[in-house]
Amino acid sequence: MQLPKPRGPLSTALCADLAGGRTLREATFAAAHALVAAATDPLTDDDLQLSLAICYELHYRGFDEVDDDWEWDPELLRLRALLEQRHTAALCALVTPVEVTDAPVDQQLAAVIAADDGPSLSRYLAKHGTVERWREYLTLRSVYHLKEGDPHTWAIPRIGGRAKAAMVEIQADEYGGGSPGRMHSQLFAGLMRDLDLDDGYGALWDLAPTVAFTSVNTMSLFGLHRRWRGACLGHLAAVEMTSSEPSRRYSLGLRRLGFGEGTTVFYDEHVEADAVHEQIASVDMCGSLVAEDPTLTADVLFGAQCSLAMDGLAADHLLGAWKAGRSALHGERSLAA
Ligand SMILES: [Fe+2]
Ligand SMILES: [Fe+2]
């Protein structure tokens, strides 16, 4: 994976340091401080979100021309923490906390989901999606789905007992249950190829809109910090609990355009698997976690709310651009062009 094209002063400085140097320059910190102080909407700030995604990617696959040792460079981590603090504060401002009740946590999660009134992308694409809009949607989602499972998997060593066993059961399915070709990331890559998109890991980062990074950065934040393990599990539960029905609609949308089951398998798999994962995630995984430590309930619900809010940001971005007749991709460059 190549370093992405910078999207502002901070990512320009950061990419230059990672590619050429052995340490972060003071100028890079100055750019980060300036950005954090000035950002009015950190969750949609191109430079902030891309820079944070670059910092996190060092923990995943890294970048071709970047030394692996950067992953645990103390200065890099100091910079990352600065961006994380701004990102976390923005998440807390975006999401209105729900009151924790005595009800089982799966019911509290279901209530959070029922209260979500974000726009439905799957309904739109099922009815009105053109191949071009599908390609834009998949470009956005590729930032996550080509590493599907990975951001949540960080939490596995951070939990124990039944919650851990439940999480491993879900994640094993995400990773294809031992068959590389059944890995959800691979099924997604096949879908991309069928729509003539480059399925290389990270290949479409330069075209992805900011919200794609905001969404994955939120997952990485929750996964990489033990302090956010409750939010990580709540986030995963919300993903699983809101996947089955929309997946059915996405599959229908592709069939309406003439694609066959070789293409829709990514969604068909999620219709089946996530109907099961929903229960394992909410009852077994989150239920066991909070039974052991009830103080984590608020974080579980916060994580679920953040998951829904990130889906809302993505839907608002895509539907807003399409309604206005423009491309939703970064820089408004059309894939066709
Ligand atoms: Fe999946
Ligand atoms: Fe799943």
Q: 274 CA distance to ligand 2 centroid (A)?
A: 5
Among the listed residues 236, 202, 230, 211, the one whose alpha carbon sits nearest the alpha carbon of residue 307: 236
What residues flank ion ligand 2 with Cβ within 5 A?
240, 274, 277
CA-only gyration radius of the chain, Å: 19
**In the predicted structure, residue 336 carries a pLDDT above the cut 50:** no
- Of the listed ligands, the closest to the CA of 243 is 2
* d(CA 140, ligand 2 centre) in Å: 19
Nearest ligand for residue 268 CA: 1
- Closest ligand to Cα 175: 1
240 CA distance to ligand 1 centroid (A)?
Answer: 8
Categorize the per-residue pLDDT at 333 as very low, low, confident or very high, splitting at 50, 70 and 90.
low
Q: Is the pLDDT of residue 329 over 70?
A: yes
Cα of 269 vs centre of ligand 1, distance in Å, is: 8
**What pLDDT score was predicted for residue 332?**
62
Average pLDDT taken over every residue of the chain: 96
Contact 184, 269 (CB under 8 A): yes
Region 7-27: mean pLDDT is 95
- Tens digits of residue pLDDT in 110-165: 999 999 998 999 999 999 999 999 999 999 999 999 999 999 999 999 999 999 99
Kindly tell me if the per-residue pLDDT of 215 is higher than 50: yes
The ligand that comes nearest to the alpha carbon of residue 272 is 2
Ligand of minimum distance to the alpha carbon of 149: 1
pLDDT in tens, 57-96: 999 999 999 999 999 999 999 999 999 999 999 999 999 9
| pTM flag (> 0.85) | yes
Q: Which ligand is nearest to the CA of 141?
A: 1
CA 46 to ligand 2 center in whole angstroms: 29
Q: What is the pLDDT of residue 21?
A: 79
Cα end-to-end span (Å), the chain: 23
What pLDDT does residue 331 have?
84
What is the dotted CATH code of the domain comprising 105-323?
Answer: 1.20.910.10
Ligand 1 center to residue 148 CA distance, Å?
6
Q: How far, in Å, from the CA of 270 to the mean position of ligand 1?
A: 6
Ligand 2 centroid, distance to 70 Cα (angstroms) = 32
Q: Is the pLDDT of residue 337 over 90?
A: no
Average pLDDT, integer, range 200-216: 98
Distance 237 CA to ligand 2 centre (A): 9
State in Å: Cα 320 to ligand 1 middle. 27
Q: Which ligand is nearest to the CA of 176?
A: 1
